[in-house]
Amino acid sequence: MLCGVSRRRDPRRAHDEQSRGTSPDPPPGVHRIDSGTCELVADRFSGGWMLLVNGVESSHIDPDHPDALEFEYMRWMANLIHDRFPSDGRMRAVHLGGAGCALARHLDATYPQARQVAVEIDAELARLVREWFDLPRAPRLRIRVGDAAQVTAELTAHGREVIVRDVFTGAVTPRPLITRDFTRRVHDVLVPGGLYLVNCGDHRDLRLARAEIATIGSVFGEVVVVADGAMLKGRRYGNVVIAGSDTPFGDLATVARLLRSDPMPAQILDDATARRFAGSATPISD
């Protein structure tokens, strides 16, 4: 995952925050995992812990505030989820890319009925984050060790409200997870009105982001894009959140206000604007 730089705690109250026990501090430093190393660094500015996987900032965990999200792109995703699904409704989510399960913790804290699966390819990393952090237990959150594409292929059709793709090898999402065929499989797994959220890390030329918008837009009836202004203007390398659904996103004014007030202000492109932004980009084939 690409990292955020600031935190804005979601105002929604955690439904069981006070019921969680306190765990001893995890051991800072570098630890061996199946794919290389991970490192735990105490965050003396925001509190909590930064988890780096093979040198890349991959998760931020605040043990005292499970609903807090440090990475801005996760806050953007959370805004889209909360706008689509009421907090007292059903929430079955799959997170492709587990790391520290920060977004899964947030959804567990804000959706009392949430049932989630985080897919993590590194078995030792999955074991360590269970040991270090007070993650929700099954059935609230299961960590499934496996390849994201293979696990997605095995999921039951029409069984999930939300699928989040946040998988990186270094700074690159593996190609099998960005193709139209994979996106079609995700579409099949979602319920009608379900939401597919993608964290796309791209360079200033935005070629990948435009191709991903074209790919998701070729499968889903609606696609929206969230990113900060500098990223959309091709001034820096960073995160672009792309969301697909077959149900119209409708009036995005509330989401737009939340994004503007974020410590990392962002813009949202509606379906028509997102497709114009993609331009002549073609869907990514296998």
Joined together, the tokens standing for residue 138 give 């099954």
Hey, what are 63's tokens?
A: 């043990």
Sheet of strand 56-61, all strands in order from the earlier edge strand to the far edge: 29-33, 36-42, 49-53, 56-61
Averages of pLDDT over each 10 residues, the chain, 286 residues: 38 38 77 96 88 93 92 96 92 95 96 96 96 93 96 96 93 93 98 97 93 98 96 90 95 93 94 96 93
Q: Say whether 81 sits in a helix, a strand or coil.
A: helix
The H-or-E segment that residue 60 falls in is strand 56-61
**Domains within the chain, CATH numbers bracketed:** 66-278 (3.40.50.150)
| Residue 20 pLDDT | 43
Which pLDDT belongs to residue 191? Answer: 97
Q: Which residue has the tokens 């499989």?
A: 185
Q: What is the pTM of this model?
A: 0.90
Q: What is the pLDDT of residue 1?
A: 43
Cα 240 to Cα 127: distance, rounded to the nearest angstrom: 30
Instruction: Tell me the residue type at 208.
Output: L
What is the pLDDT at residue 48? 92
pLDDT in tens, 38-47: 999 998 887 8
247-270 per-position pLDDT tens digit: 999 889 999 999 999 999 999 999
Q: How far apart are CA 47 and CA 112, in angstroms?
A: 25
Query: What pLDDT is stored for residue 2 in this prediction?
Result: 42
